[in-house]
Amino acid sequence: MDGQDRVVTIIGRNLWETGNDAGGEMSPPPPPPPPRAVICVGDVHGYISKLESLWANLQSALPPDAFATALVVFLGDYCDRGPSTREVIDFLLALPSRHPAQRHAFLCGNHDLAFAAFVGALPPPPDGTPFSSTWGEYIQNEENEGWYRGPGHEGMHCQGRRWGGIMKEKRNPKRGSSYMGSIYDARPTFESYGVAHGSPDLVKAVPEEHKKFLRELVWIHEEENVPIDTNEGQIICKLIAVHAGLERSIDLNEQFRILRTKDTKISKVAMLSGRQDVWNIPKDLAGKQTIVVSGHHGKLHIDGLRFVIDEGGGYAYRPIAAIVFPSKELIRSTEGTSSQNRSRYHQE
């Protein structure tokens, strides 16, 4: 018997020994591991106690292995309105070391873009266009919105100037409350770093680690092979996460270009700040088994594969919500709210 025959004999014996007793057949392979859980977390808006409560509730609700290995997509708007933006960003920065087997994606919201613009952490336009070119489209609002005119404003994106400004009108009719400094309600963010609203000192007060976090926020997260439970059974989808949604009147490929390259020469990015124009899934994606999930809108809305997960909306009395795929289970913060922390969505 030569070496080759010996190898074949040994392999054959091993195959026989792993078979069942009845016929010596190979045992079936073990079942594949369950798919990685995907958790999408709605707008945080500076509420660290709610974020900590939500995280604890997620950890309690999911099986340990599922939580430990989950993909967690934060849908943006970490700053403004709530009192603890600095602590929120510290919490998010610590997640990779606290949960090394998880994957984390941090989306940029319209508030985060404006915050980054003010502190010099917004990536420059890919084509080298100066940020001052973004002013013209909305310059008619400069006086009423009290755009920032202090040191550094000359080279600032218009959303940074709006974010650091002071509204002339003190009441926000859409929210039924007073503006917190600017149209973005940015005063609590300034104060969380120990400076007064509108102060240029914020640029020095924000740690470089936080500026790096803002600079590296993604405008879109795309994930293939995400399972989702439906009334007809489980299906496999592509997931697209973007803060506000995908615009119905802009070419889809152009939207993807803007989002993937973070094209900051645009004055106001509809996919990060739109309302009704980004509410539905674009027709080009209809029927393509694509989940589109967003925050931003201050409400919870689920229609087919379109998910809007922003139950908190930056209001102190509302919870932060998250949705878990494939089950579509909704998990909420319970600290400081009267909300139940769990529910499962069933489509009619």
Q: pLDDT tens for residues 207-262?
A: 999 999 999 999 999 999 999 999 999 999 999 999 999 999 899 999 999 999 99
| Domain presence at residue 98 | yes
pTM: 0.88
Q: What is the pLDDT of residue 175?
A: 81
Alpha-carbon distance of 25 to 218, in angstroms, equals 51
| pLDDT-derived band at 172, boundaries 50, 70, 90 | confident
Give 222's strand partners: 240
Q: Are strands 329-332 and 221-230 parallel, antiparallel or unpaired?
A: unpaired
Q: Give per-residue pLDDT as tens, 248-286.
A: 989 999 999 999 999 999 999 999 999 999 999 999 998
Q: Which tokens go with 270?
A: 């509809």
Which residues does 240 contact at the CB level (< 8 Å), separation at least 6?
Answer: 220, 221, 222, 246, 285, 290, 291, 292, 293
Residue 186 counted as domain residue: no
Which domain range does residue 106 map to?
38-124+206-344
Task: Check residue 173 and give its pLDDT.
Answer: 86
Nearest to 59 by CA among 22, 3, 98, 86: 98
Is 53 a domain residue?
yes
Residue 188 lies in a domain: no
Residue 298 domain-assigned (yes or no): yes
Tally the domains of the chain.
Answer: 1
How far apart CA 61 and CA 231 sit, in angstroms, is 22
Active site residue 111: yes
Strands 321-325 and 300-303: unpaired
Look at residue 135 and tell me if it is in a domain: no
> Choosing from 45, 99, 104, 111, which is the catalytic residue?
111
Query: How far apart (Å, rounded) are the C-alpha atoms in residues 134 and 131?
Result: 6
CATH of the domain at 42: 3.60.21.10
Beta strands at 71-74 and 103-106: parallel, antiparallel or unpaired: parallel
329 within some domain: yes
Q: What is the pLDDT of residue 335?
A: 80
